[in-house]
Structure 1
């Protein structure tokens, strides 16, 4: 037996000595596709052995949305599979209180159902006030380092204890023959949108360097300006709600009118003194945590990620949740349960949207290795998108190639100049064979040939890199 073990060990060593230099050379060829000045960190590690190929893994990189994997792990460890966000309607003889918990999936229809239950039990009159209790969260509704120029769009929606309809407003803008534009907003959205944007030809837009611009104000007013090239179909727009509390107040006024409920008081923000003695009228519960994590990872949902981050802070420290205590809770939860030390990571949110986030590849490697080793207990790997088949990876050009499609499960991450991917090579049964990390930042390709039908350098790099990690996982 001892001789057999020595023989097998020598075989593994020979394979290692052969494969690693080969894969290293392949990585170098893949990196050659990237523009000069691009910074990258690459890792590939077989899970059944300690064979690892690394390139420039000592530095810090912006994780972008790959951070959601860490948020998912911390949430699963701390909150558990049975966790659900709750929204509760309470009442006493004259007033109501809506207790919000930061549910990122709460809809206007859910609120309507709560008030419908009130009407069926207590009639069509509220003699006092309606209180909106948002005390579960505190602090900023946007994390430090969120780009200012994206705050008006839905992927940067504020994170409040009261989130309605994803804090997102659907609209559209039309070009006009007289050179103006007009905006359509469905009437059920209690916001105001105006447009001073001009309709111009494609050539004039390019020569003027004039794009569509948005100014959003704290009272949920939106003004469009700049230029829009002539088009036959309307351009869809998605605005982030700027003031979730004001938006909720206006939505509730609409619902009360629709339900025929007369409110004699006001809709106020805060907690009534009698909150603890008020009777529970109705409760809405979100989907359970695994379903929320699936949406978060498949669709890269920032609102779910950051609502969970604040909830972790509230749950772990027993105080109103914030970005500050939420990210610290993530670090402490993961260290206490896994032994992985993230104290040197610079984390300011749980979505990865902030430009201030920084993470070492070794930290992400340890997280991925833990997920693979404990997948039976965590069940997180099956929530990740599959290359070329689902979620945010469905249409990724580098993953639609037959040599890559279906062979990776991973989480992408993108910011300005950043293109990341972390995940696993899987076999035909979907079981992980190896982990990999691709962190690429300071990526600024030449725009000289942007009009030509040429694959972008990042796509060429990714295809080559993914083929390399797949070949390594299969011992090729």
Structure 2
């Protein structure tokens, strides 16, 4: 009994020493920053450093590591999204199609207007010049909210939060710009391509930097129904046009207008209308190859995961999240069943997310909660199963590609190519999960920084801070310590 007690005390002492050896780095962080980290030797599985690894934090985009792992395990590397036009080939007579034709969307984040045009051209090539019925756009693959619970409302108008609807065309994103007609212009000029079926108005004043500060003004957007937007507020003069990226609020209406236009362009008349259909496809129709009139397939899952992980693509992540829910439960996918499916699938492979809260696949929701300890359980699995999963190659590489190509926290010559990780950033959140190729072998790490204020680096009497304390200064020191 005494021996067991001494071993327990010794273990606590060693853990305390490990933590204390690294806590000196926290003086490099802005005052008030919440920090958790866990570093493990990949070969020996020995803990190198840890601090508050059980604390639940906001994960931001490192959540995509969970999505990528689950997708690879359950959907498989050969998975592709399929967008299919269904009908009855026997209904084609003398250039006319008798009845309705359905276009089944699958939540494919790669589907473009150009792809739809090709689908319709394939339809026309089968001798269809007129549809004596409706052209139905089926959105039954997903249901529920387009955005996850806990997303910031004022982010929803920009393209990195484009809605994960079953209907996705051109990433549900509209591009444009603001420019100045002349040097003395007092109002900015808005440009949106004429082919975009949206209504965007603008009343943006051009002011000096001092006036902007005095008036507390910024560039604002109001989102209304039917993809109607109003841009207002102010901007300062600039030589180049200011790029804009509007997230489509109503993907159904957006797709209806695009497809009505494309039908006309390819020369297919519709006696009825282009309208939304939410009736689930029947198993018999789904499995009947003779009913398929045209099909578009997305790139393979591995290609999607490369984009999702290296560039932190939110739309791909949330679409995959809902797709996992749909496939696992054999019902329309949504954020609720996506969460349950993810936990169940990972648990089947020995990864128990315990008290984690999973709201989405992208990490955009502020409701998500994960700990460094839980992320490490996923990271160890991904690392040891890399021959099967092949996910490490999708991580960004410091100074080379993805979100780490220019990341200030790893942009030293010593760390270039040595830190391989998934990043996660939101306001006040800076997380990294991955591995460091150190001098003594690979080290797996999870670093979670929450609640930091970059403008607050004041000295705390209890913790003397570096005069230029910042998240990036801390990251550099943290990774250099792991590397050496």
Equivalent in the alignment of 1:214: 221
| 1:280-319 equivalence runs, <5 A | 280-319=292-331
CA contact (8 A) 2:37 2:50 kept: yes
Separation in structure 1 between the aligned mates of residue 353 and residue 245 of structure 2, nearest angstrom: 35
Secondary structure of 2:483 counterpart = helix
Equivalent in the alignment of 1:110: 115
| 1:191-202 equivalence runs, <5 A | 191-202=198-209
Equivalent in the alignment of 2:32: 37
The structural deviation recorded for 1:26 is 5.5
Structure 2 unaligned regions, length at least 5: 1-10, 92-97, 459-466
Equivalent in the alignment of 2:8: none
| 1:346-385 equivalence runs, <5 A | 346-385=357-396
- Given the alignment of the two structures, is residue 459 of structure 1 paired with residue 468 of structure 2, yes or no? no
TM-score for the superposition, normalised by structure 2: 0.88
Equivalent in the alignment of 2:412: 401
String of CA shifts for 1:211-269, please: whole Å, max 9, x gaps: 10011123111111111111121100011011111100000011112212211110111
Moved over 3 A (4+): 19-26, 271-275
The structural deviation recorded for 1:152 is 0.1
The structural deviation recorded for 1:25 is 5.2
Separation in structure 2 between the aligned mates of residue 267 and residue 250 of structure 1, nearest angstrom: 8
Equivalent in the alignment of 1:468: 481
Secondary structure of 1:196 counterpart = strand
Secondary structure of 2:136 counterpart = strand
Higher alpha-carbon deviation: 347-356 or 225-234: 225-234
How many residue pairs end up in the alignment?
A: 449
CA-atom RMSD in angstroms? 2.3
| 1:32-181 equivalence runs, <5 A | 32-52=27-47, 53-92=49-88, 93=91, 94=98, 95-176=100-181, 177-181=184-188
Separation in structure 1 between the aligned mates of residue 21 and residue 399 of structure 2, nearest angstrom: 22
Separation in structure 1 between the aligned mates of residue 275 and residue 143 of structure 2, nearest angstrom: 17
String of CA shifts for 1:338-358, please: whole Å, max 9, x gaps: x11113111110100000000
The structural deviation recorded for 1:311 is 0.5
String of CA shifts for 1:28-50, please: whole Å, max 9, x gaps: 23211112211100111001113
- Given the alignment of the two structures, is residue 446 of structure 1 paired with residue 441 of structure 2, yes or no? no
Secondary structure of 1:80 counterpart = coil
Closer/same/farther in 2, CA of residues 81 and 427 from structure 1, 3 Å limit: farther
Secondary structure of 1:225 counterpart = strand
Separation in structure 1 between the aligned mates of residue 269 and residue 139 of structure 2, nearest angstrom: 23
String of CA shifts for 1:4-42, please: whole Å, max 9, x gaps: xxxxxxxxxxxx9xx988975563232111122111001
Secondary structure of 1:32 counterpart = helix
The structural deviation recorded for 1:178 is 3.6
CA contact (8 A) 1:424 1:432 kept: no
Equivalent in the alignment of 1:436: 445
- Given the alignment of the two structures, is residue 331 of structure 1 paired with residue 362 of structure 2, yes or no? no
Separation in structure 2 between the aligned mates of residue 269 and residue 367 of structure 1, nearest angstrom: 40
CA contact (8 A) 1:97 1:271 kept: no
Secondary structure of 2:444 counterpart = strand
Equivalent in the alignment of 1:225: 232
Closer/same/farther in 2, CA of residues 213 and 274 from structure 1, 3 Å limit: closer
Secondary structure of 1:468 counterpart = helix
CA contact (8 A) 1:62 1:357 kept: yes
> Which residue, 273, 286, 291 being the options, matches 1:279?
291
CA contact (8 A) 2:38 2:51 kept: yes
String of CA shifts for 1:43-79, please: whole Å, max 9, x gaps: 1100111321111112100111001001100111111
Equivalent in the alignment of 1:258: 265
String of CA shifts for 1:103-137, please: whole Å, max 9, x gaps: 01111111000000011112321121001111111
Secondary structure of 1:237 counterpart = strand
